[in-house]
Structure 1
Amino acid sequence: MTSVVERVLPERLGRPFRWLASSSWVSNLGDGIVMAAGPLLVASLTDDARLVALAATLQWLPPLLFSLLAGVVSDRVSRWHVMLAGNLVRVVVLVVLATAILTGAVSIVVVLAVLFLLGCAEVFVDNTSATLVPMLVRRQDLAVANSRVMAGFVTLNQLAGPPIGAALFAAAHVVPYATQIVLLLGALALLAKVRLPPVERPAERRHVRHDLAEGLRWAARHPAVRTLVLTIFIFNITFGAAWSVLVLYAQRQLGLDEIGFGLITTMNAVGGLLGTACYGWLTTKVTLGNLMRIGLIIETLTHAALALTHTPWVAMVIFVVFGAHAFVWGTTSVTIRHRAVPPELQGRVTGVNSLGVFGGLVVGSALGGALAERYDVATPFWFAAVGSAVFVVVIWRQLRHIAHDDDPLPAES
């Protein structure tokens, strides 16, 4: 047993990181369960593609609105307390939703409101969580630590969680949400064992606008971080258009039921595990810039292939390939940020990155819902394929900035 723990979470990463990783994994299992249950609950209340896409938009809108503010909060106050407060808010909101389902008072309006409130709390939790690894792990071990966190995310959030969530939803609509409440409380208990080192902060409290501007300017000055933010924004417009109607695509074009929809995310996770196994080897054989270029070509072809296929097993293979690409991209992006960004700016630069991530998703989901309602569920995937192809050409030269030379720039005085 000891050897297994050492292989998964090497002792050199430290006991605090082990507790942090364990907390992250438990929380990710709960999030994965609701990842499948949420769209299924929405689809059980309406078949309007615009409302289904709106549900995705309302989950992605809070980061667009509050990511920069969440970054300032993460850099100003105790990060442990931000995690505690944000997760307690999530628990309260989930209790309200579970009660509404049990009493028969649930409606599409209630669900949409809950999704928005959960999204607001998750902005602060996710932003702060992203700053913790470089506080606990040495710079040379960041790639290993991030790969372990990402492997837990892939295994539990994407592989185990969604089929469990779909099965629990099929048994009773309230069960997935009750399960997530228990898991969130367990994750908080594990997180309570983590003692974070202090973060250097300015002696004088400055205006929020000053801190926001400092984070934006730093991200704009750093070539690798700037390119990552720009790229994720562009490609999340196309990704958001397609994935915002994924539950309808699974039902209408592939003919899948609730369990089949959960299997889609499972296949993504299988691909993520393949990406995990190959990641170290890939980074020794392919430059990060070329790795990103290959990934963007894969993403473009994924959208086109999904638009064309009506065969579930073919679609499942495509989702495996996409999952491997998503893991490689995500791990590379996080590691570059963790290595490059000074500790006192981690929250704000993460907020800038989240602005790019969710800004693209919000724009894309609005387009996806309108296209699916106007035409059919394959149309958003065609839009994603064509749009991604154009963006690959536009962004191609900028990807040269993604390199192994990711030393930090100093924070502004």
Structure 2
Amino acid sequence: MSTLVEIVAPRRLGTGFRWLLASSWISNLGDGIAIAAGPLLVASLTHDPFLVALAALLQWLPPLVFGLYAGALADRLDRRLIVVTVDLLRAAVLALLTFAIATDVVSIALVLVAMFLLGTAEVFADNTSSTLLPMLVHRDDLGIANARLTSGFITVNQLAGPPIGAALFAAGHAVPFVAQAVMVALGAMLAARIVLPPHGQAHEERTRLRQDVAEAFRWVLRHPAVRTLVLTIFVFNITFGAAWSILVLYATQRLGMGEVGFGLLTTVSAVGGLIATLCYGWITRRVSLANLMRVGLVFETFTHLALALTTRPVVAMVIFFFFGAHAFIWGTTSTTVRQRAVPSELQGRVGSVNLVGVFGGLVIGSGIGGGLAQHWGVTAPFWFAFAGSAVFVVLIWGQLSHIAHADGREQPAAA
């Protein structure tokens, strides 16, 4: 057992990292269960494409509204305390949702409110959690540490969680949300064991939140690599959000897959991501970061086209497998570049600028996707995603060279 722990979380990464890893994996298992159970709950209450897309939008809207303030608070306050408190609040909301489902008083309006509250809590939890790793691990080990966190995310959130969530939902609509509440609460208790170095501003040093946020924007605008990453993820999440916001309808109506089949799509994507974790070091030793980003963006563009054309579940699963590999490589690389480039005192705020880019794109995209699907069918958002992505790739192509110089040298490959 000790050998396995050493392989997964090498001793040099520290005890704090091991607690962080355990907390992340447990919480992500709960969230993975909800990946399938949440949309299935919405679909059981309504078949209106607009309301289905609205459910996704209400989970993606809070980072856009609260993200910048969450980042500013993470740079001011006890980061561990923020994570623990917010995760416990998430567990409470899930407990109330479970009660409503079990007593048969649940409605689409109540589910939408719950999703907004859960999304709001995740803004503060996820943004603050992303600042912990650079405080616990040496910058030269950030690549491998991020790879371990992401591999756990893929395994439990994307691979194990969705089919479990779909199966639990089939057993009883309230059951997956009970499981998620327990997992989130346990993750909070594990996070409470982390010991962080001193951080946060002294009271007399504090400025206004608006000044803190403005400083982060100025820093991002002056840093070519991080600026390019934020812009790219914003635009590509518009196209991604348009297509993925109605994915449950695409899977059930276009592909003819049932509840468990919908969860299987996410699982197949996770398998691709997990295999990519094993190849990540090999890939980054042979392909420059700029070319890695270029290949990934081209691949994502044609993923939308292929999904718009196919009606066969087997073909769709193959596409999702390779898309999962791409998503892992992109996510791990962009996170490591940002963490290495950003000073510790700005990690929360710059992370929040990136978060606003991520979810701002998803919010805009989900609104577009719901409208397109309602008027022209479930494949219309995928055609929009293909066309929009293709145009942006052409426009951003030359700027991607900045990513290779995030801090004056190539990042070390993850082991």
Q: Is TM > 0.5 for Structure 1 vs Structure 2? A: yes
After superposition, where does 1:97-246 map in structure 2 within 5 Å? 97-199=97-199, 201=201, 203-246=204-247
Q: Using the alignment, how far apart are the partners of 2:159 and 2:315 within structure 1?
A: 18
2:95 maps to what in 1?
A: 95
2:336 maps to what in 1?
A: 335
Give the SS at the match of 1:403.
Answer: helix
Q: Which amino acid aligns with 1:108?
A: I
Native 8 Å contact 1:340 1:407 kept in 2? no
Native 8 Å contact 2:337 2:406 kept in 1? no
Q: Deviations over 1:182-238 (max 9, x none)?
A: 111211221121101112536422111110111111111111000000000010000
Aligned residues: 408
After superposition, where does 1:244-393 map in structure 2 within 5 Å? 244-393=245-394
Q: Using the alignment, how far apart are the partners of 2:408 and 2:96 within structure 1?
A: 46
1:50 maps to what in 2?
A: 50
Q: Deviations over 1:313-348 (max 9, x none)?
A: 110000001000000000001101110001110000
Native 8 Å contact 1:62 1:119 kept in 2? yes
Find runs of 4+ consecutive structure 1 residues off by over 4 angstroms. Answer: none
- Distance change in 2, residues 1:179/1:253 (3 Å): same
Native 8 Å contact 2:77 2:201 kept in 1? no
Native 8 Å contact 2:45 2:108 kept in 1? yes
Q: Deviations over 1:297-316 (max 9, x none)?
A: 01001000001111001100
1:78 maps to what in 2?
A: 78
Q: Using the alignment, how far apart are the partners of 2:242 and 2:274 within structure 1?
A: 25
Measure how far apart 1:404 and its partner are. 4.5
Native 8 Å contact 2:84 2:189 kept in 1? no
Q: Deviations over 1:32-73 (max 9, x none)?
A: 001110000000000000000000000000001111000001
Native 8 Å contact 1:238 1:383 kept in 2? yes
Q: Which amino acid aligns with 2:262?
A: F
Q: Deviations over 1:67-100 (max 9, x none)?
A: 1000001000000111122111101111110011
Q: Deviations over 1:94-118 (max 9, x none)?
A: 1110011011110000000000000
Native 8 Å contact 1:155 1:273 kept in 2? yes
1:30 maps to what in 2?
A: 30
What's the % identity of the aligned pairs? Answer: 63
2:19 maps to what in 1?
A: 19
Q: Using the alignment, how far apart are the partners of 1:101 and 1:405 within structure 2?
A: 48
Native 8 Å contact 1:289 1:403 kept in 2? yes
Q: Which amino acid aligns with 2:380?
A: T
Q: Deviations over 1:2-61 (max 9, x none)?
A: 221111111110111001101100000000001110000000000000000000000000
Q: Using the alignment, how far apart are the partners of 1:148 and 1:53 within structure 2?
A: 32
Give the SS at the match of 2:205.
Answer: coil
Q: Using the alignment, how far apart are the partners of 1:54 and 1:19 within structure 2?
A: 36
Runs of at least 5 residues in structure 2 that lack an aligned partner in the other structure: 410-415
TM-score scaled by structure 1?
0.97
2:412 maps to what in 1?
A: none
Q: Using the alignment, how far apart are the partners of 1:32 and 1:405 within structure 2?
A: 32
RMSD (Å), alpha carbons: 1.0
Native 8 Å contact 1:339 1:407 kept in 2? no
1:411 maps to what in 2?
A: none
Native 8 Å contact 2:76 2:200 kept in 1? no
Q: Which amino acid aligns with 1:134?
A: P
Q: Deviations over 1:122-161 (max 9, x none)?
A: 0000000000000000011000000000000000000000
Q: Which amino acid aligns with 1:339?
A: R
Q: Which amino acid aligns with 1:292?
A: M
Native 8 Å contact 1:16 1:136 kept in 2? yes
Native 8 Å contact 2:81 2:192 kept in 1? no
Q: Which amino acid aligns with 1:147?
A: A
Native 8 Å contact 1:26 1:187 kept in 2? yes
Q: Using the alignment, how far apart are the partners of 1:387 and 1:30 within structure 2?
A: 33
Measure how far apart 1:405 and its partner are. 4.3
Give the SS at the match of 2:362.
Answer: helix
Give the SS at the match of 2:348.
Answer: helix
Q: Using the alignment, how far apart are the partners of 1:84 and 1:29 within structure 2?
A: 17
Native 8 Å contact 1:68 1:352 kept in 2? yes
